[in-house]
A and B are shown apart, each in its own frame.
Chain A
Amino acid sequence: MHLKYESTLREPLVDGVKDYHQVTEDIIGPIEAKPGKLWYIGLIISISLLLFGAFSVFWEVYFGTGVWNLNKTVGWGWDITNFVWWVGIGHAGTLISAILLLFRQGWRTGVNRAAEAMTIFAVMCAGQFPIWHMGRVWMAFFVLPYPNTRGPLWVNFNSPLLWDVFAISTYFTVSLLFWYSGLLPDFATVRDRAKTKLRKLLYGIAAFGWTGSTKHWQRHESLSLVLAGLSTPLVLSVHTIVSFDFATSVIPGWHTTIFPPYFVAGAIFSGFAMVQTLLIITRKILGLEEYITIGHIDAMNRVIVLTGSIVGVAYLTELFMAWYSGVQYEFDAFYKFRAAGPMGWSYYIMMTCNVVSPQIFWFRKLRRNIMVTFIMSIIVNIGMWFERFVIICSSLYRDYLPSSWSYYRPSWPEVGFYLGTFGLFFTCYFFFAKYFPVIAVAEIKSILKTSGQNFKEKMVKHEEEDLEKFAHDQAHH
């Protein structure tokens, strides 16, 4: 039959000697085993953080947003910083699952499931901030355009903040559907090999009665492709719209047209860093080093150095335009209040973490070093948090009226709220890592015979063959 050939110059995507059954064993196995001590410790820490976050939010709702250290000059502080940071992190998951699917990048199969899960959890965390920032949160549904008894008085469709409501909720819904439709066949795999009654029952419900019928696979492929096609412009639109929250205002430092591409690149940059952080730990603990290989880590580090450099160019463009435009307010915002002034320290943390440090990934040796990658991924996440902090707070704290100039540092409920979203994120991720197939089993099987190590080794003899003979042997079957 047809020869599944891929050049041996390309690294294998699945290491070791594998067949289809072994793939199932390796990936579904951890679901069936008892979780280790580390899992319980991690989960307890996450739940504690979540509870502390819930308490901080309760405090804020009970006493009002006044318990946050926002003032009339700095109206957006940690809350919106965290919102933009979390949304940005989500973007890498969609990039891997959708954009790389359209570009036919085989390596996405090893990491897409976990990355998409990360997207969903990150967007859940992000959504908390604008909602609880409303203060009178019981009126949060006022953002929805529903017929009401106040006229009906509708929402303002001209407002980027309302666009955000639509963008984030659509993004969450579509990501969830995409992720879950991909999970159905894998849940069926868990169901059909389940030994315990409870597992059969629960995975039976979750798999929706999937059988693996050829017609269903055909529709499933079509669905995945179209959802990928829809998610690609969607993910670009989401951070574009988030950047409109700033770019459509008249605040010096926000009012710039490069914001949409600059934000999208930054989002992918921070998202890939978070994927690295999570997967380096996950592959180690679940023993999935043969599926999430050094090659995968290398590929993601290349994306990090690319997007990090795009972000760097954006920073420099901002500085250049602030001077070249000849607008005094722009110049002051960038050179006097951002790169200098009381908040200048945050600008340099941002520059070092986002622009300077990722440049080490031009070296192949460092890209393929797990410890270096792990440390870098944390540095990039810190840097990207500071980018949002710099954009938001250092543009606000010195406005047009010097008498209202102020400084901003967070109060404990703001910090607690942020820690709480970490709790939410990691609680979800721990449950995901234990009860869900962390790698897309069916997708790995579909690339196994082209990109698995033991199958690639069989291709060596074909590569040494004479071209004429090879064509004769393979072409007409």
Chain B
Amino acid sequence: MIRRTILTGAAAAALFAGSLGAASAQDTLLLGAAAPQTGPLAGGATVTHWPAVRLWVQQTNAAGGLQVGDQQMTIELVEYDDQTNPQQAIQAAQRMATQDEVDFMVAPYSTGLNLAAAPIFAQLGYPMITGTAVTDQQPALAAQFPNMFFVLGRTSVMAQDTAQLLVDMRERGELGDRVALVNVADAFGIEMAGISKAILEENGFEIVYETSYPLGTQDLAPVIDGARAAEADAFIAWSYPGDTFALTDQAIVQNFAPQVFFTAVATAFPAYQERFGDQIEGVLGMGGVNADDPAFQEFAQAHMEMAGQAPDYWASAATYAALEILGQAIEGAGTTDRAEVLAYLQDRSHEYETILGPVNFNENNDNERYWTVGQWQDGVFRGVASQGRDGVAEVEAFDGWN
């Protein structure tokens, strides 16, 4: 949705005229953002993406804007809906760059939409710092799109860390050998299940139950039933939001309480806690944050006040951090010239202060310090495994749905 006031009747004319009129003053920086407001991913984007983007703009402006050279610039946000459609994501990026003439753009939401928009960002010379794309292709992507930066981390490492967590727990005598491994039948689920299975088998775990289900499956009772019948000590599900909720729901209904209960995406969502309350104490999930860090707590508080909902304990902070990085790069370069800001970002010696802690990029434009596994502890989703992050909490054994 575009936030500037335009006469609806003039819309068509404006389209052809190739300009939206509203002249931007010198001291305003236009920031374009296109992400799902409708379509399959609208739910996730409304939790994770949009509030974080709006909050950063609001807070930056409240603090007087960005200090660009000797100029103080406030930020004006131009929003579009990409309808969770790669075609529309491409068009929206093109439109923001050439029609609205925005100075910078926020990277879209989700891996697929980020990759669809990447060539347009690259071609038009916009820095693209993504907080919601998780992939293993950083080297290839960075080679093709040198303007693309990754904050959230690598998928394979997340699968490795999850498996490693089980290995460590068993060593401490907190976990048996029997693992149930399930996944949503989708590129993400298949890949993650494959990686974690290899590591678990290598370490002498026994995969006693293994299955997959199509994306969008409503009834997951048979999956929980199967895992319970196989007497699994650990339950690992590489799941998407809908199935994360459905699997948890069924586990509670059937009182399936293994020593480890892990669901992947959306376990870190505030809605997960709202739905299941205290019962989820000890549940493991993908992502995590340093929930005891004052910087994160301040962010969560402001998020709550502005959006009326808590941030998720994973990608919300990464999305916000991606904008902090962009802001600091603009201030560091001291100009709104995109080529110079990009050069600043590509200088690997620069480090950025974010709510995730310090971030810098390696030769693959990749942030090497990120959270991989989290656990619900005392009503907060704490990071229990990470790559190079401070404040990793001790993982606790799951003691049932209480």
* A, B from the same assembly: no
Please report B residues at the A interface, Cβ cutoff 8 Å.
Answer: none
